[in-house]
Amino acid sequence: MTPPKRMVSLDRYVGRIVAGTWLVAVTFFLFLSILIDLLVNLHTHIDKHGADGFELTVWLVQYYAKMTPMFFVTIAPFVTVIACMFAVARLMNANEVVPMLFVGRSMGRVLRPTLYCGLLSAAAMAATWQWVLPLVADTISNTRKEQKAIDTAVRNIALPVREAGRLQALSVQEYVPATTTMRGVRFLIEGTQPEDVVLVMAESASWDAQVGDWRLVDGVARKPVPHGVEETPRPWLGSSGFTPDRVLMAGKENVEADLLAYDDLSDLVRLRPGRADVKLAFHRHITYPLANVLLLLLALPFAVWFERGGRIERVLAAIALCGAYLVVDLICQSLGQRGVPPVVAAWAPTILFGSLGIVMFSSIRS
């Protein structure tokens, strides 16, 4: 059955107010996040990139443009709650809610656009994690570790593999996924005897898909002999255990788990089942976007009032509940890396506060 035109018009009216408030809120909080980070780390940026005003400004603009997606996935749930509460407060102060109820809408229908806003914000967080953050993850990680390079190459990879009963270890200074090339290659092949150990060294290497091996540039193999070291040219790496995907995945272990995409985390969970931080990050990539809706269910009942007075207390109560969720979430993250099963640590705040939110939202007065 098609809803009456007045219902659709009211939905659009409330939706425009919610969308406008959300855009203003996300812009303000992104600016605030960038400003706080800049004030805290400005001295570090000056030490690394010099005090030249123009060059430093250009670098800071580029850097914080790349940091913006990370700030967004951090603040999005709280921006959504604040924006929707302001939107509902605007409707309440203008006495527009009562006429909406008078034409036959329930309070749940009046608040439906706010829930849609929460769902869209959650989808935007998931899309940012999957497709945007991986493009800047290396830059953020490298800057945090006070490294000078800011491109998307993966650095300082160490990958051991056991093949044919012998340990083989690959060390790479830098790997560029876009061109499947490695720089600073060191490949150690363990032997049954000390004199059987072989060290392969090359300035760089590129992947040859037809051969299924790495073509070395200036590659040499060094092997101990009775009177010194024997050195022979080596055009190929000579191992099938180091595919580009495996090298890339080993490099991503150097990137913070919270910056990885869903598929990267899924692969890491499978390859490194003992890493609690990876499992925790994978499940939080699911639960944290849900906080956009969960916190709305908790906070919206405090935004709806029909009595005189008590508005400040209700707003403070809503903020306190959101703060409680944040504290519990941080505690569970810490416990998830200290023995508590990561699945339990990631989902406990969502289940606890989600159940409370459903009960509170269903009890809103109409």
Kindly give the interhelix angle for 244-252 and 262-271, rounded to the nearest 10 degrees.
Answer: 100
Mean pLDDT in residue range 12-19: 93
pLDDT of residue 158: 77
Please check whether residue 204 is in contact with residue 185, taking contact to mean a CB–CB distance below 8 angstroms. yes
CA 92/CA 281 separation, integer angstroms: 39
Q: Cα 346 to chain center, whole Å?
A: 15
178: left (phi over 0), alpha (psi -120 to 50) or beta: alpha
In the predicted model, is pLDDT for residue 84 greater than 80? yes
Averaged over 69-82, what is the pLDDT?
93
pLDDT exceeds cutoff 50 at 330: yes
How far apart CA 195 and CA 244 sit, in angstroms, is 30
Q: Please answer whether residues 204 and 235 qualify as being in contact, where contact means their C-beta atoms are separated by less than 8 angstroms.
A: no
pLDDT of residue 169: 83
| Spatial separation of the C-alpha atoms in residues 366 and 87, rounded to whole Å | 18
pLDDT given for residue 147 in this prediction: 40
Beta bridge partners, 217, equal 204
In percent, the amount of the chain with pLDDT more than 90 equals 38
pLDDT given for residue 73 in this prediction = 95
Q: Domain coordinates of the chain in residue numbers?
A: 5-148+275-362, 154-254
What is the mean predicted confidence (pLDDT) over 170-194?
83
Query: What is the chain's alpha carbon radius of gyration, rounded to the nearest angstrom?
Result: 27
pLDDT digits (tens, 9 = 90+) for 157-170: 877 776 666 778 88
User: What is the rounded average pLDDT of the residues 209-225?
Assistant: 89
Q: Which amino acid is at 9?
A: S
Percentage of the chain exceeding pLDDT 70: 87
pLDDT(306) > 80? no
Q: Which three-class secondary structure state does DSSP give residue 185?
A: strand
> What pLDDT is attached to residue 180?
86
pLDDT digits (tens, 9 = 90+) for 169-181: 888 888 888 788 8
**Could you tell me which residue, 263 or 118, shows the higher pLDDT?**
118
Distances from the Cα of 46 to the Cα of 54, 57, 151, angstroms: 12, 10, 19
305 has a pLDDT exceeding 80:
no
User: How many other C-beta atoms can be found within 10 angstroms of the C-beta atom of residue 150?
Assistant: 17
Rounded CA-CA distance 248/87 in Å is: 45
Helix (H) / strand (E) element for 202: namely: strand 198-208
Token duo for residue 104: 């036959």
Report d(CA 352, CA 360) in Å as an integer.
Answer: 13
Average pLDDT, the chain: 84
- pLDDT value at residue 184: 92
Higher per-residue pLDDT: 28 or 261 = 28
Neighbours of 202 (CB within 10 A): 23
**Closest to 156 measured CA to CA, from 293, 252, 66, 298:** 252
189-192 contacts: CB < 8 A, separation 24 or more? 189/239, 190/166, 191/166, 192/166
- Is this prediction's pTM over 0.85? no
Interatomic CA distance for residues 7 and 136, integer angstroms: 43
280, pLDDT greater than 70: yes
Rounded mean pLDDT, 324-335: 93
What value does the mean pLDDT take over residues 33-54?
82
What is the pLDDT at residue 64?
Answer: 92
pLDDT tens-digit profile of 91-113?
888 888 888 888 778 888 889 99
Backbone angles phi, psi at 201, to 5 degrees: -130, 145
Those residues with Cβ within 8 angstroms of residue 267's Cβ, 6 or more apart along the chain or in another chain: 249
Q: Helix %, strand %, coil % for the chain, to 5?
A: 65, 15, 20
**pLDDT at residue 28 tops 90:** yes
Closest to 257 in 3D by CA, of 235, 273, 280: 280
pLDDT of amino acid 167? 75
* Maximum average pLDDT range among 90-99, 100-109, 120-129, 334-343: 120-129
pLDDT at residue 7 above 60? no
pLDDT at 267 over 80: no
The lowest-confidence range among 38-52, 56-70, 223-237, 314-328 is 38-52
Helices 53-93 and 311-336 meet at what angle, rounded to 10? Answer: 130
Q: 198 or 73, which is more confident?
A: 73
